[in-house]
């Protein structure tokens, strides 16, 4: 009798909560979570803990909560440097209003319409961003096939992963909205040397 022995891996991608300093183009600046951010993330995970491993961005707004969660539930936590947020170059640390004032009122609109050709000065290119995130994603799947993972990361990472599994063009990735402490679940089925990703839900709570 032939049986289906394909391995299924579940990954819950969770965006960090609100950082100190409020809403801004933070990128790779290493701000900590605010008290509100801690509360948002604790509320999102609730009391149940279905995960086998936590994988986290190295940035403090992700890593601090990941380590706290891992310590309380006594499970492994891995820091994955490639899960850092997209680098925003000259915009890093600035609010949207500050960017519009420093440059011109239409600069953000042009960026969101075509981020491939209107990126900030010294910003990370979306192609380079895609390459490092997809490599981290694939390595994580291979390393933890068959497990249920919690990946604590950033809005840009979650947008990129969704775009990757659904084959959405990079130019459209910023049309995916990701709120603080929201969770996106991806189910990955092993198919030979690859994993077929399916979006189970996006932007919810457990």
| Bridging pattern class, strands 194-204 and 183-191 | antiparallel
Q: Residue 130: which H helix or E strand, with range?
A: helix 126-143
Give yes or no for a contact between 187 and 49, defined as CB atoms under 8 angstroms apart.
Answer: no
CATH superfamily of domain region 8-87+125-204: Phosphoglycerate mutase-like (3.40.50.1240)
Q: How many CB atoms are closer than 10 A to CB 138?
A: 14
* Domain regions of the chain by residue span: 8-87+125-204
Residue-by-residue pLDDT tens, the chain, 206 positions: 344 567 899 999 999 999 999 999 999 999 999 999 999 999 999 888 999 999 999 999 999 999 999 999 999 999 999 999 999 999 999 999 999 999 999 999 999 999 999 999 999 999 999 999 999 999 999 999 999 999 999 999 999 999 999 999 999 999 999 999 999 999 999 876 678 899 999 986 66
- What six digits make up the tokens of 98? 């500050």
Judged by DSSP in three states, 113 sits in: helix
Task: Provide the token pair at 155.
Answer: 């809005």
Alpha-carbon gap, residue 160 to 176, rounded angstroms:
9
């Amino acid at each position: 009798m032939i049986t289906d022995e394909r391995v299924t891996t579940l990954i819950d991608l969770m965006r960090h909560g609100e950082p100190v300093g409020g809403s801004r183009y933070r990128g790779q600046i290493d701000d900590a979570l605010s008290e509100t951010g801690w509360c948002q993330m604790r509320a999102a995970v609730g009391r149940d803990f279905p995960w086998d491993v936590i994988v986290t961005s190295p940035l403090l707004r992700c890593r601090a909560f990941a380590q706290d969660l891992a310590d309380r539930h006594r499970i492994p936590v891995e820091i994955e440097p490639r899960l850092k947020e997209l680098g925003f170059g000259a915009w890093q640390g600035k609010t949207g209003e500050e960017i519009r004032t420093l440059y011109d009122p239409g600069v953000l609109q042009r960026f969101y319409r075509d981020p491939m050709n209107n990126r900030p000065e010294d910003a990370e290119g979306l192609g380079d961003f895609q390459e490092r995130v997809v490599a981290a994603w694939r390595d994580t799947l291979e390393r933890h096939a068959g497990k249920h993972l919690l990946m604590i990361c950033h809005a840009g990472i979650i947008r990129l992963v969704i775009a990757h599994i659904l084959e959405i063009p990079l130019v459209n990735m910023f049309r995916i909205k990701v709120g603080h402490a929201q969770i996106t679940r991806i189910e990955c089925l092993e198919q030979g040397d690859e994993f077929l990703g399916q979006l189970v839900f996006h932007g919810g709570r457990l």
